[in-house]
Structure 1
Amino acid sequence: MDVGLQDGIEASVDIDASAGAVWELIREPGWFINGGEIGKHQIETKGAFSVVHDAIYGRFDFEALTLDPPRYAAFRSLGGDEWDDPVPNTLIEFWVERINSGGVRLRVMESGFAGFDAEEHARVLSSRTLGWKVEMQAAKRHLSGK
């Protein structure tokens, strides 16, 4: 592990929806595998472990670490058949926070990138940073219609 490499990325979006509605989305492992439009996945769950099947992107494995409705969800990404990262084991955390406007702020942090070798680190970090921006906007559109 190179301690000089950035380990995590964060993104957030304000959504005009209830905490419960946002929770219903984020409690599903892999909801963010979608290319910018929230859709349904086939999910096989056995205890804390889930296999998410996406029609376009393939299979992804997750472990649910913490589900604290409606405020916090944490998943460990364990890879999958179509995984394109050399070390898929990252921690993905979501927070749902009420804001003064009556909606909520959805925050995500994905960490574990310092474990990537230097050659892959920049590519993976750049890809995931852009990906979370897209997925936060997809969540907003899906939940608030905006």
Structure 2
Amino acid sequence: MVSTPGWWINKGEITQNGLRCYGATVTVTSDWGEFVLEVVELRAPHYAAFRWLAGTNETEPEQELRTLTEFSLNETGDGVEVRVTESGWASFEPTEYVRNNHRENAAGWESELAAAQRFLE
């Protein structure tokens, strides 16, 4: 699951998104629209890394939000731990646009990980 680009782009339930692959770049089409991701590394089934190739904000065209999201699966005594690390935020100018995106992403990960848990159970 973690090696599928864009599985986390959903509305609280894991669904099939449309994928168009162009080498290391993937366009994910979901209910939220289209998202362009760079496949950085895949070591299925335990690790995957993707870079979000976000566009720019009209009011801050110089600010491209390109974060790296890493997923790893680790077996535990009780099951499997899914770990998500999204990095890159500290390198951006701390504008309101960046703060809003960071806040929305943090809330989104809570929803997406809850959806992953339901899907895997």
The reply to whether residue 41 of structure 1 matches residue 2 of structure 2 is: no
Kept in 1: contact 2:47–2:70 (CA 8 A):
yes
Is there any run of 5+ residues in structure 1 with no aligned partner, and where? 1-24
Q: Which residue matches 2:41? A: 66
- 1:128 aligns to 2:85 (yes or no): no
Helix, strand or coil at the partner of 2:64: coil
TM-score between both structures, scaled by the size of structure 2: 0.86
Aligned to 2:51: 76
Alpha-carbon displacement from aligned partner over 1:7-51 (angstroms, at most 9, x marks no partner): xxxxxxxxxxxxxxxxxx211111111121111111011221111
2:51–2:68 Cα contact (<8 Å) kept:
yes
Q: Which residue of 1 aligns with 2:64?
A: 87
> Aligned pairs, how many?
115
Shift of 1:80: 5.6
Runs of 4+ in 1 over 3 A off after TM superposition: none
Larger strand share, 1 or 2: 2
- Separation of aligned partners in 2, 1:79 and 1:126: 16
What TM-score does the superposition give when structure 1 sets the normalisation length? 0.72
**Residues 1-146 of structure 1 aligned to structure 2 (within 5 Å):** 25-54=1-30, 56-79=31-54, 86-101=63-78, 103-120=79-96, 121-144=98-121
Percent identity of paired positions between Structure 1 and Structure 2: 38
Greater RCO structure (CA 8 Å; 6+ sep) = 1
RMSD of aligned Cα (Å) = 1.9
Q: Secondary structure of 2:7's partner?
A: coil
| CA-CA distance at 1:119 after TM superposition | 2.1
Structure 2: gaps spanning 5 or more residues: none
Distance 1:61 1:80 in 2: 9
